Amino acid sequence: MITNGSLFFDPLILERVKEADLIIPSLDTVDPEAFQVINRPHPELRLAAIIEGLIHLGQLPGPRIWLEVLFLRGLNDQPAQIEALSRTIEQINPEKVQINTVVRPPVEAFAQALDYPALETIRGRLGPRAEIIAPPMVKTDFQKEMLESEILGLVARRPCTAEDLSRLTGLSRQRTLELLNRLLNEKKIVCEVFNQKDFFLSR
């Protein structure tokens, strides 16, 4: 059974699912503000009640629980958020924690995917029961052009370090450096040193 997991605080719902073999509920965050942005819940739903229901679900003797978490860049991927989520997951005690991110064009522009290294970092923080179910992202030529355009747009506004660009684009530092080297070789950007740091600028 795949479910958004929002109604397990209701004893009647728990009673109905107690004979299930496998239940896959979702819990994307325990941060109330992020919850409102990501999940857009019904006004009567409360995050605390949802979490309490999932904890009760985890206490049922029958069903196996695989908890799915969808991570979005800049919304629920910060270390403090992940630490709080990890503590709640310990209370829910699922058999698995399935880590996911956006894998198809989102409806909302704010729903940006995490790259695979970021997902790997989160997996490490969530412990041995966590696994990544999002497929590795294979960049098409079009996607590469979009990334290059994004970087060119950023350095056109102001000089940026590789670390700045990695943070702003959500790419790993290694991937950012690969793109910067390509743009340097193609003479689309220049690199200048200031205060012992490399800054990248548009030509």
**Whether residue 88 is found in the same domain as residue 162:** no
**Whether residue 166 is found in the same domain as residue 188:** yes
What integer pLDDT is reported at residue 105 of this predicted model? 62
Q: Which CATH number belongs to the domain containing residue 190 in this structure?
A: 1.10.10.10
Tokens of 164: 């700045």
pTM of the model: 0.67
Pick from 167, 159, 170, 152: nearest CA to 197? 159
Q: How many alpha carbons lie under 13 Å from residue 138 in its C-beta half-sphere?
A: 1
Quote the domain boundaries for residue 22.
11-132
How many domains in the chain? 2
**Whether residue 162 is found in the same domain as residue 183:** yes
What integer pLDDT is reported at residue 140 of this predicted model? 45
**Whether residue 97 is found in the same domain as residue 150:** no
- Residues in the chain with pLDDT values less than 50: 138-142
CA distance 119 to 136: 10
**Whether residue 159 is found in the same domain as residue 95:** no
Per-residue pLDDT reduced to its tens digit, 23-47: 999 999 999 999 999 999 999 999 9
CA distance 148 to 90: 41
Give CA separation, 186 vs 94, 141, 189, in Å.
50, 16, 8
What integer pLDDT is reported at residue 166 of this predicted model? 85
**Whether residue 97 is found in the same domain as residue 146:** no
**Whether residue 150 is found in the same domain as residue 83:** no
